[in-house]
Amino acid sequence: MQRSTELFDRAKKVIPGGVNSPVRSFRSVGGSPFFTEKAEGAKLYTADGQELIDFVCTWGPAIHGHNCRPVHDAVAQALDKGTSFGTPNPYEVELAEMVCDWVPSVEMVRMVNSGTEATMSAVRLARGFTGRTKLIKFAGCYHGHVDSLLVKAGSGALTLGNPDSAGIPADLARHTIVLPYNDTQALDAAFAEHGEDLAAVIVESYPANCGLILPDEGYLPHLRALCDRYQSVLILDEVMTGFRLAKGGVQEIEGVTPDLCAMGKVIGGGLPVGAFGGKREIMEQLAPLGPVYQAGTLSGNPLAMAAGIAQLQLLAERDPYAELDQMGARLASVLRTAAEEKGIPLQVPQRGSMFSLFFAEDRVRNYEDATSSRTDYFNQVFRYALDHGVYLPPSAFETCFLCTAHTPDLIDRASDVLTAAIKAL
C-alpha cells in the first residue's frame, strides 16, 4: 500500500485525521485506509493496484454498482447544460413527482444536499408544526451530525467509541430523550411522562448504523399508534433503506406510514442528494408557504437530480429487489454455516441488499447487544478479507450492501474468501 500510505501521509497534514468522514480512517479495524482511484460495477481499484469486490457500495447509494452507465450518461447530458442555475429546473420537478408517486407517506417533498440536512430539516419542521420541543431518538441510531440527534449515535461516532460529541450544548441535548430500540415498555413510559411535550419521534426504519438491527414484530406499529395518540410527528429515517429495499422503502414493506420521512443515498445516484417529505399539511409549514425556514444554494442541483432520476428509472425497469434479497439471503446463509462449522457464534441479520455481521450468541435487538458483540473477531475477518480482495465496511458497527452488479461469480468468490476468513479465526 505504498501509494495509499503516501497519500494518507499528505492528507493528514491538511485534512483532520486525513479523512473527510471519520469511519474512513480505519481506526477501529487497524492500519491505514487505502485510496480508491476508480470504481466500476461491484469493484474498487485502489491506488496500489489492488482490485476489490466491494460490499460498501459507497455506503449505500450504488445500488446499480459504480459508474452505472445510464446514470453516468444522464449526468453527462445534464452537465452539457450547466452545473448549477440558482433557479428552479425541470429535473427537480420530475424527481419530486417520482418520489411522491413511489413513497407511501410523501405528498410533498423538498430536496436538500445530504441525509444530515434531511433529518435536521424534518426535526425542525416537526417542532414548528407541533409547537413542541422534545424529541425521542434511539440509542445506536445515527441521523447525521445534527446537534440534537448526535446523542447516543451510531455509525462513525460509535465506531470511534464516542457516541456523543463535544460542541453540543447541554441545554440543547436535554430536549432529546434517548431510548433503547425494540423496548415497548420504555416507549410507553416515555410517552406517558413526556407525551404532551413531544414534537417527534425519529427512528431509522431498520437501524443500520449500529450494524443492521431489525424491529421486533409489532414494534413499528406500536410506535405509530403512540404518535397518533399523543399527536407527535413520526419521522422515519429512510436515508439508507429508502429505494434500496423496496420502491417505497421500509414503510412499504412494514405497512407503517410516517408523518415525515428523510431520504438520501440511493436517491442521488452517487451525487450529494437528500430529501425530506410527508403529509401536505406539515410540509406546507415550510417557507415560503409557512414559518419554518429551510434553504440551500445547491438544493435541486441539476446534475444530482439527473442522476437520481436515472437511478430510480433503472430501479423501475429492473425491479431488482427480489433478486437482491435472494442474493443477500444466500450469502448470509454461507456465513452462518462457516461460523457454525468453526464453532463461533455469528448473527447475520439480512434484509434485501443489506446485511451485517455480529459475532454474538443471540439475535442483536439493540445498541447494547451490538456493542457487546466480539468486535475483535469482526476486525480479524475484515483484515483477512481486505488482504484477499474483498472490501467490507471498516467497522463492526456498519452495514454491508449488495448491488445489481454483484454477479453470481463475484458472490461465490467473496463467499470463499469470507468463509476462509471465519475459519481462520
The tens digit of pLDDT for each residue in 318-344 reads: 999 999 999 999 999 999 999 999 999
The domain limits of the chain are 2-63+320-423, 69-317
Q: Are 201 and 176 in contact (CB under 8 A)?
A: no
**Rounded to whole angstroms, how far apart are CA atoms 397 and 390?**
18
Catalytic residue among 91, 142, 206, 377: 142
Domain 2-63+320-423 CATH superfamily: Aspartate Aminotransferase, domain 1 (3.90.1150.10)
> Is-catalytic flag, 45?
no
Q: How confident is the model at residue 347 (pLDDT cuts 50, 70, 90)?
A: very high
The per-residue pLDDT for range 208-248, each reduced to its tens digit, is: 999 999 999 999 999 999 999 999 999 999 999 999 999 99
Active site residue 142: yes
pLDDT at 171: 72
For residue 325, report the phi and psi dihedrals to the nearest 5 degrees. -65, -40
- On whether the CB atoms of residues 398 and 317 are closer than 8 A, the answer is no
337, containing H or E segment: helix 321-342
Please compute the mean of the pLDDT values over residues 132-151 and round it to a whole number: 84
Topology of 69-317 in CATH? Aspartate Aminotransferase; domain 2 (3.40.640)
Q: What pLDDT shows up at residue 1? A: 79
Q: List Cβ neighbours of 60 (8 Å cut-off, separation of 6 or more).
A: 240, 244, 265, 266, 399, 401
The DSSP bridge partners found for residue 262 are 237, 276
Task: Average the pLDDT over 275-301 and give the result.
Answer: 97
Q: Which of 70-79, 135-144, 256-265, 294-303 has the lowest mean pLDDT?
A: 135-144
CA–CA distance, 382 with 6 (Å, rounded to integer): 22
pLDDT band at 158 (very low <50, low <70, confident <90, very high): very low
Q: State the cell numbers at 59.
A: 455506503
Q: What is the mean pLDDT of residues 177-206?
A: 94
Cis peptide preceding 22, ω within 30 of 0:
no
pLDDT digits (tens, 9 = 90+) for 360-402: 999 999 999 999 999 999 999 999 999 999 999 999 999 999 9
Q: Choose between 44 and 158: higher pLDDT.
A: 44
**The pLDDT of residue 181:** 95
Pairing of strands 36-40, 43-46: antiparallel
Give the Cα separation of 262 and 247 in Å (integer): 14
SS3 177: strand
Question: Per-residue confidence at 146, pLDDT binned at 50, 70, 90?
Answer: confident
Q: Catalytic residue among 54, 206, 237, 391, which?
A: 237
Distance CA 390, CA 131 (A): 49
Q: d(Cα 150, Cα 140) in Å, to the nearest integer?
A: 10
- Per-residue pLDDT band for 159 (boundaries 50, 70, 90) equals very low
Query: Lowest mean pLDDT: which of 35-44, 83-92, 160-169, 178-187?
Result: 160-169
Give percent of the chain above pLDDT 90.
89
Q: C-alpha 18: how far from its chain's center?
A: 23
pLDDT of amino acid 135: 92
Average pLDDT, the chain: 94
Active-site annotation holder among 219, 265, 369, 377: 265
Q: CB of 422 within 8 A of CB of 374?
A: no
Q: How confident is the model at residue 150 (pLDDT cuts 50, 70, 90)?
A: low
* Percentage of the chain lying above the pLDDT 70 cut: 96
Annotated active-site residue 265? The verdict is yes
